[in-house]
Amino acid sequence: MLDPRAAEEIPGDLDPALRQEVAHTTAGILVHQGRAAEDPDMVDRLVRLVETEGLDTVAGLWADSPSNTLPGALWRLYVLREWVRRDPHTVAERYRLGVARAQVHDVVAGVASPPGPQDVSRVVDAVLSGVFSADLAVALERAAAFCRVLSTGSALDADLVDDRDGDLARRITHGASGLVRTAEELEDAARLWRTGVLD
């Protein structure tokens, strides 16, 4: 990763081409070195990257990367994990709401039934671990399925709160739409990985 002191000495904003080069290089190193090491401790450290390095640091590296790139896919996985880590109760409740209407996606995601806060946290950790220790395409598909169940549950939650708080219902609906988009992006990234063109 780019040394923070060295980054501070770079005048102005990074050139967009250099920013993308840094994003691709760091993502590639993390995934390929993590997979090559076959070390559970390293995988655990990589899963907890945002906790140790901070969301802003990871965002600075990958947030601007397109979804059809490795850094873009990793960014989406880390943001999903961070959301679950920060609000596991809401995520578990919305997941529970969505399971009945998205059963196939629930099976792919692999969340315990009925899902509790610890269960959804375990699944996103397992999904992110799979990036470094199993089939990356399967990890991306599991994350996509998780997002699809959550989007369904979020839409149902929005219906439940609409009478009490229309603004909250609109925010939840917007979030549900974002989860569908993220699911589609992760599914696309999985296809690209399988054909060897996700870089």
How much is the average pLDDT of 157-174? Answer: 95
Residues 6+ apart with CB under 8 A from 80: 124, 143, 146, 147, 182
| pLDDT per residue as tens digits for the range 63-105 | 999 999 999 999 999 999 999 999 999 999 999 999 989 998 9
The predicted structure's pLDDT at residue 13: 61
- Which residue, 150, 145, 128, is CA-closest to 187? 145
pLDDT band at 4 (very low <50, low <70, confident <90, very high): low
CA distance 76 to 172: 19
Counting residues of the chain whose pLDDT is more than 70, the rounded percentage is 93
C-alpha–C-alpha distance, residues 92 and 123, integer Å: 11
Give the Cα separation of 85 and 8 in Å (integer). Answer: 30
| pLDDT above 60 for 10 | no
At 54, is the secondary structure helix, strand, or coil?
coil
Whether the Cβ atoms of residue 180 and residue 151 lie closer than 8 Å to each other: yes
Distance of CA 79 to the CA centre of its chain: 5
Q: What is the pLDDT of residues 17-60, one digit of tens each?
A: 888 999 999 999 999 999 998 899 999 999 999 999 999 999 99
What's the whole-model pTM score?
0.90
